[in-house]
Amino acid sequence: MLAAVVLVAGAVSILTPDEPPIPIPDGVPPVPGTPVPEIDVDAPGRSAAQLRDWAQPQAETLGIPVVALEAYGHAAAVLARSRPDCGLAWTTLAGIGSVESGHGRHGGASADENGTVAPPIRGVPLDGGPGLAEIRDTDGGRLDGDPVLDRAMGPLQFIPETWTRWATDANGDGVADPDNIDDAALTAGLYLCERGGDLTTAEGWTAALIAYNHSADYMALVRDRAAAYGVGVRP
């Protein structure tokens, strides 16, 4: 189990009365959205910032903070080079980020220009209650602040054990931080590619999302939001 609990409730697209509705495509995988321009993913520092001119014009329309959208696009760009067999689109990461934490805004949090989300977002204790797995502490509270039970962490809601195995530094600061949306987005992408294989297929995409959170309702919600982003609509 990766994402332990959905933090943000569902939403419905609303258009002004004189605007024709934009059809949201059905099926999986969701449409890939605006193509991510080629960037130098090996550049020093936060290479995701190279996507500012791509992210800024669509961020307000989509309801995604610019820094978060850069993080999703950057993760897709890195994986397009390192895992070209995977085909993960930024829209899937955006769908997950929306459901898990409102793109790092749950509880009044926000991401700074380096991608770090504060205050840190933590899920409820995983005590086996309704809708929750029971996961006893695996990190001595070092990552999630709870020495008794594990909690999901950060804008992509990793549990400590999964983060420890897959953690990746994506913003060039030398630290893999679950509270950094660049690091979390790329780590999530790596996990999805490993679990799903070819995410351009319905089978691969479905397998990846079920591995991320073993819930058909969760997968459908991520799909709906990712599909909306894919056609330029705020879900």
Distances (CA, A) of 121 to 10, 105, 145, 200, 223: 19, 9, 11, 31, 23
Q: Which two tokens stand for residue 21?
A: 């509705």
Predicted local distance difference test score (pLDDT) of residue 2: 55
**155 pLDDT tier (thresholds 50, 70, 90):** very high
Q: What is the mean pLDDT of the segment spanning 167-192?
A: 98
pLDDT of residue 20: 55
**What integer pLDDT is reported at residue 16 of this predicted model?**
46
Q: Residue 49 has which token pair?
A: 């910032």
Q: Quick check: helix, strand or coil at residue 28?
A: coil
Q: What is the DSSP letter of 77?
A: H
Query: pLDDT tens across 90-136, in order?
Result: 999 999 999 999 999 999 999 999 999 999 999 999 999 988 889 99
195 and 204 Cβ atoms separated by less than 8 Å: no
Which residues on neighbouring strands pair with residue 117, listed in sequence order? 111
pLDDT digits (tens, 9 = 90+) for 127-145: 999 888 899 999 999 999 9
Q: Please say if the pLDDT value at position 4 is more than 80.
A: no
Whether 90 and 73 have beta carbons less than 8 Å apart is answered as yes
DSSP reduced 3-state for 76 = helix
Asked if residues 28 and 228 have their Cβ atoms less than 8 Å apart, the reply is no
- What's the rounded Cα separation, in Å, for the pair 218 and 79? 24
Q: How far is CA 131 from CA 22, 30, 57, 122, 146, in A?
A: 34, 26, 38, 17, 19
pTM beyond 0.85: the answer is yes
